[in-house]
Amino acid sequence: MALDVRQFPCLSDNYGFIVRDEASGRTACVDTPDAEAILAALSAAGWGLDLVLNTHWHPDHAGGNRAVQAATGARIVGPEEVLRIAPLDQAVKGGDEIRLGDTRIQVIDCSGHTLGHVAYHAPEANMAFVGDTLFAMGCGRLFEGEPAQMWASLQRLAALPEQTIIFCAHEYTESNVRFALSLDSDPAVAERAQIVFEARRKGEPTVPTTIARERATNPFLRAPLLMPDAPDPVTAFAQVRSAKDEFKG
């Protein structure tokens, strides 16, 4: 059940992903930040496109649906909220399962950044595409949801197997690292900071990450430890989220 993933930067700081189920040759793209970049990546790979998987309705995730579908005939799967701005053929929600050829893909409710946000987890391939929910050392802003909802979504991702490869939709890691260093003195954070700064100096991506790495160094997952005076984990998370919203690093 292997998946071949090609990742490419697009727009100002998004990542696009095209994915191929090796057994069947079926292909998908995760979100449609930039139709032209996706079509160029497909043609470089020599792949067609069967499926679009949207994580949420924001224009840098679903804005290219129409053009990608017109060019490839791909079927579009995503949360119902995508219909606010773009075409959608099949609405999915947390708990649903879809297939890309022989690969099972489980839909995980990741509401918080938007109310309908979902992630796509391919358990046998050991990969998850998490949109704007979990970032390398960061998490998405709460545009529509409440802290309790986002905390629950992050906990569902954190509960995936430690070696799960996490594909985040943006390269935000450098600023996330500066924020993490401002409130976490754990040596694992300092060590990862060096790796991130070095990678960015060389223009290399810091995505994908893994659940193990995020559990060890992501200040949002570590919120209860970082905010020991908070009465409960949701409050701790909300405190870290507002600190990040105000952080000028």
- The active-site residue, picked from 21, 61, 109, 121, is 61
Residue 121 known to be catalytic: no
- The active-site residue, picked from 21, 34, 50, 58, is 58
By three-state DSSP, how is residue 65 classified? Answer: helix
CA 82 to chain centre: 16
132 scored as a contact of Fe ion (CB under 5 A): yes
Shortest approach of Fe ion to residue 113 CB, angstroms?
8
Shortest approach of Fe ion to residue 62 CB, angstroms?
10
Shortest approach of Zn ion to residue 159 CB, angstroms?
23
Closest CB to Zn ion among residues 62, 234: 62
Q: Where are the beta strands (DSSP E) in the chain?
A: 3-10, 14-21, 27-30, 51-53, 75-78, 90-91, 97-100, 103-109, 118-122, 127-131, 134-135, 138-139, 165-168, 209-210
Site for Zn ion in 109-128 (CB under 5 A): none
Cβ atoms of 182 and 249 within 8 Å: the answer is yes
**For Zn ion, what does the binding mask look like between residues 41 and 80, x meaning CB under 5 A?**
-----------------x----------------------
- The active-site residue, picked from 21, 31, 50, 60, is 60
CA 36 to chain centre: 21
**Tokens found for residue 223:** 């919120």
170 scored as a contact of Zn ion (CB under 5 A): no
Please choose, out of 101-109, 125-133, 144-152, 202-210, the segment that lies near Fe ion by the rule CB under 5 A: 125-133
Residue 58 known to be catalytic: yes
- Give, in order, the Cα–Cα distances in Å from 4 to each of 20, 27, 31, 207, 211: 5, 9, 16, 15, 20
Number of residues this chain uses to bind Zn ion (CB under 5 A): 2
By three-state DSSP, how is residue 196 classified? Answer: helix
Residue 170 known to be catalytic: yes
Contact residue for Zn ion among 31, 132, 184, 214 (CB under 5 A): 132
Residue 117 known to be catalytic: no
Closest CB to Fe ion among residues 63, 219: 63
**Tokens found for residue 194:** 């060096």
| d(C-alpha 21, C-alpha 3), whole Å | 5
- Give, in order, the Cα–Cα distances in Å from 82 to each of 59, 99, 116, 164, 177: 9, 20, 9, 26, 31
Residues catalogued as catalytic: 56, 58, 60-61, 113, 132, 170
The residues of the shown chain that bind Fe ion, judged by CB under 5 A, are 60, 132
The residues of the shown chain that bind Zn ion, judged by CB under 5 A, are 58, 132
